[in-house]
């Protein structure tokens, strides 16, 4: 690689040598995520993974892709880049886990205005941490230096993950019946959705992110940059302990969009809003922006990052499994007969 350099390309804004330095810095982080099945190391043209199919009658691959959105603006303002990668991983692997699948590997895409190797290393450190939390391997990625497209101090991060589940054990909501219990699993805050509304409502800028907020016990920026919770291992605990019939990851679109996605035809969800505490950050957003309650529940997770449906007889076992996994669960509703959709009370 030492012979690969171009002064002409560098003059145009792309420094290939900086790219090689980035790879050198991130290689130990990437390798720290390797799990059985990873073949080779960083630097090939493709990430290689050999899945273990033993014990599976009909293995099904489950994939997910997503980005972090305008939450990145907080990272830019605070010049803190080592957590945003957790969000990128979370948005992909949580979706995969909703099917009952175990994420196997993850690939990232980082597009930058200027390749600053230490900043790339910070971003990838978060991605690697997210992969470790999810129990999946970071098997590759791409860093694209795009001068003139992104400002020098800005970037975008997206990711892609693949998992696997045995088809007979897939979770798809098809076995839901009226009377099943809906359990909400606590979020870590706003997670990675609705940040365009957050930034507009709270007037996010370099000054405001440093403002200490008594409601949070930290600065506004620290609260808003809190990483999205990764629920993969908690979901696996749940599946082992109880008959999980459906799971919904509460992302953009909040309750109204995401909960119906896990329901079968003829099943309606009734949700008790008061059953799960709403974190202070959502109260601040709603009051500051005079945002109607329905819009809040149609945009944010409101303190519930995951909704899990189990039979009523399994509710206690599910709550205990969540507690054992370090998560907090609340019984927030039930399923009833009716049109697919939700009612918030």
Which tens digits make up the pLDDT trace of 88-123?
Answer: 999 999 999 999 999 999 999 999 999 999 999 999
Q: What is the pLDDT of residues 280-334, one digit of tens each?
A: 999 999 999 999 999 999 999 999 999 999 999 999 999 999 999 999 999 999 9
Q: So what's the pLDDT on residue 4?
A: 63
| Percentage of the chain exceeding pLDDT 90 | 89
For residues 297 and 155, the answer to whether their CB atoms sit within 8 Å is no
**What would the mean pLDDT of 206-229 be, rounded to a whole number?**
97
User: What's the pLDDT at 5?
Assistant: 64
**pLDDT score recorded for residue 1:** 45
**Which pLDDT tens digit goes with each residue over 162-207?**
999 999 999 999 999 999 999 999 999 999 999 999 999 999 999 9
Task: Tell me which of 18-22, 56-60, 118-122, 160-164 is least confident.
Answer: 18-22
CATH number of 7-169: 3.30.1330.10
Burial of 298 (0-12, 13-18, 19+ CB in 10 A): middle
**Domain 181-344 in CATH 3.90.650.10:** yes
Q: Give the global pTM.
A: 0.94
Residue 187 backbone zone (phi > 0: left; psi -120 to 50: alpha; other: beta): beta
Per-residue pLDDT, 3: 63
Residue 43: pLDDT band by 50, 70, 90 thresholds? confident
The residues of the chain that CATH labels 3.30.1330.10 are 7-169
- Which residues are 268's β-sheet partners? 336, 341
- In this prediction, residue 280 carries a pLDDT of 97
Range(s) within the chain of domains with CATH label 3.90.650.10:
181-344
């Amino acid at each position: 690689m030492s012979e690969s350099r171009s002064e002409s390309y560098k003059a145009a804004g792309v420094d290939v040598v900086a790219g090689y330095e980035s790879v050198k810095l991130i290689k130990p982080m990437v390798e720290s995520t390797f799990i059985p099945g990873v073949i080779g190391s960083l630097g090939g043209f493709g990430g290689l993974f050999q899945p273990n199919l033993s014990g599976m009658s009909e293995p099904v691959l489950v994939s997910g892709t997503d980005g972090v959105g305008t939450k990145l603006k907080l990272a830019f303002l605070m010049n803190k880049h080592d957590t945003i990668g957790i969000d990128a991983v979370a948005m992909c692997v949580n979706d995969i886990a909703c099917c009952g699948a175990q994420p196997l590997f993850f690939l990232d895409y980082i597009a930058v205005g200027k390749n600053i190797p230490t900043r790339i290393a910070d971003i990838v450190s978060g991605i690697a941490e997210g992969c470790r939390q999810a129990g999946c391997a970071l098997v590759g990625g791409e860093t694209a230096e795009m001068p003139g497209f992104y400002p020098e101090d800005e970037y975008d991060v997206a990711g892609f993950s693949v998992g696997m589940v045995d088809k007979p054990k897939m979770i798809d909501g098809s076995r839901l019946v009226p009377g099943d219990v809906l359990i909400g699993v606590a979020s870590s805050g706003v997670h990675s959705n609705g940040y365009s509304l957050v930034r507009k409502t709270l007037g996010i800028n370099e000054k405001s992110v440093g403002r200490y907020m008594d409601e949070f016990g930290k600065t506004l920026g620290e609260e808003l940059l809190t990483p999205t919770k990764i629920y993969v291992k908690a979901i696996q605990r749940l599946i082992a302990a109880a008959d999980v019939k459906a799971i919904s990851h509460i992302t953009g679109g909040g309750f109204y969009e995401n909960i119906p996605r896990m329901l079968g035809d003829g099943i309606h969800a009734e949700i008790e809003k008061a059953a799960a505490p709403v974190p202070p950050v959502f109260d601040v957003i709603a009051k500051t922006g005079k945002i109607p309650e329905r819009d809040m529940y149609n945009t944010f997770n409101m303190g519930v990052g995951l909704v899990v449906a189990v039979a009523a007889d399994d509710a206690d076992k599910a709550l205990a499994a969540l507690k054992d996994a370090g998560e907090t669960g609340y019984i927030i509703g039930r399923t009833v007969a009716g049109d697919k959709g939700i009612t918030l009370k």
